[in-house]
Amino acid sequence: MKYAYMLILVLVTACSKNADNQGVVLDLDRDRSISYETWLPTMDLKTNPSPKSKEKRLPLIVISHGSGGDYANHSWLIDAFVDNGFIVVGLNHPLNTTTNNTDVGVVSVWLRPTDITKLLDHLLNESKWATTIDAERIGAAGFSSGGYTVLALAGARYNAELMQAYCASEESGKDCELATDFSNVDYTGSSYSYSDARIKSVFAMAPAIGSAITLDSLASIRRPIFIIAATDDELVPPHASALRYAKNIPNSELILLPSGGHFIFLQCNAIIKVVDWFNTDLDLCGTQFDVDRGEVRKEVATIGAEFFGRTLGLKSGGEECLLQATKCDP
């Protein structure tokens, strides 16, 4: 059964479009191999890229997936950003992906921001991209642990003692149950700042790890931040994470969806359905929630494109729609 599961994952992954745009960044200092894929608005890089835009250089958005996922989980968001004129790059965080998820990878979230920093170093020094990406207009979007990741790039700092205190409290959520073996976790560097000045704005969906972030680091963030989460998030309680981020980051924007749960931001594709079938503890396809997941994601994508459009200097092609969302002040 395990081999059938792996075969399905390989087949689905191999079907991703623009395979010619895939690459790997070897981070020898940290012994990490970071796979990625890029998309241009033209959706064609087989020949010399020629974006359908009057701008010589285009803004870039980096996509960071959640724990145990991969960038393909957010193809719906990638397509929306590409359609609105952005270059997009999605990466897979080592030891924390669908095909290779470990307790070390789940716990060591502070390793993730540097994956993106290394990826940006690589892209901005590669001739094909150095003349296409506007290095002054780079944004980052992330889901769950990816939400933490992109917020860390804006200045949020992790504290292991805060995380332990949260997981020992009555307010803890199921997020504390995702890892069980902490024996091989090396906490060196966990409290460091991983801020990257090249990230100009951040869009965080159901961001995790909020209770483990120091309040002074959040108060020091001075970049445009947009946070969106569901009020009935069953994995990462909003009061402990999304609201904590929003209340303590100056001038941040917040939208709370009335329903949909934590995984409303995942597209229930073949990979997700297989993982859901094997792991009954997580409702990745959100069967318990009476919402139109596709419509909600469409709204979220429109809101995200509008946010990056105004913060990175590129207008969105769509209108902000809040039919199923409640926009509120932190």
pLDDT at 279: 66
Judged against a pLDDT cut of 60, whether residue 108 lies above it is answered with yes
Q: What is the mean pLDDT of the chain?
A: 86
Q: Is the pLDDT of residue 27 over 60?
A: yes
Has residue 18 got a pLDDT over 50? no
The arithmetic mean of pLDDT across residues 180-201, rounded, is: 94
Pairing of strands 199-205, 87-91: unpaired
CA-CA distance, 251 to 49, in Å (whole number)?
37
**205, 212, 261 from 275: Cα distances, Å:** 21, 28, 17
Among 101-105, 117-121, 217-221, the minimum mean pLDDT is found in 101-105
CB 63 within 8 A of CB 304: no
From residue 185, how far is each of 53, 163, 219 by CA, in Å? Answer: 46, 14, 28
CA distance 160 to 156: 13
CA dist 323 to 81, 130, 182, 301, 308, Å? Answer: 20, 39, 43, 13, 20
- Check which CATH number belongs to the domain holding 163 and give it: 3.40.50.1820
Q: Are 77 and 65 in contact, with CB atoms under 8 Å apart?
A: no
What per-residue confidence (pLDDT) applies to 267? 86
pLDDT in tens, 135-153: 999 999 999 999 999 999 9
Whether the Cβ atoms of residue 151 and residue 207 lie closer than 8 Å to each other:
yes
Choose between 322 and 62: higher pLDDT.
62
| Contact status, residue 324 vs residue 296, Cβ threshold 8 Å | yes
What is the share, in percent, of the chain residues with pLDDT greater than 70?
82
Return the SS3 of 217.
helix
Confidence of residue 42 (pLDDT cuts 50, 70, 90): low
Residue bearing the bigger pLDDT, 9 or 205: 205
Distance of alpha carbon 147 from alpha carbon 319, whole angstroms: 24
- The structural domain count of the chain equals 1
Q: What is the pLDDT of residues 284-327, one digit of tens each?
A: 888 788 899 999 999 999 999 999 999 998 744 433 323 333 34
pLDDT in tens, 162-179: 999 999 999 898 999 887
Cα distance between residue 133 and residue 32, in whole Å: 25
Torsion, Cα 105 75 196 103, to 10 degrees, reads -10
State how beta strands 58-64 and 32-39 pair: unpaired
Domain membership of residue 188 as a residue range? 2-328
pLDDT given for residue 4 in this prediction: 34
Strands 326-328, 253-257: pairing kind: antiparallel
For residue 10, pLDDT over 50 is answered with no
**With contact defined as beta carbons under 8 Å apart, do 64 and 293 qualify?**
no
Q: Which two tokens stand for residue 137?
A: 């207009």
Q: Is the pLDDT of residue 191 over 60?
A: yes
pLDDT for res 49: 46
Residue 280 has, within 13 A of its CA and on its CB side, a CA count of 0
pLDDT at 280: 61
Q: What's the whole-model pTM score?
A: 0.86
Which whole number is the average pLDDT over 6-16? 35
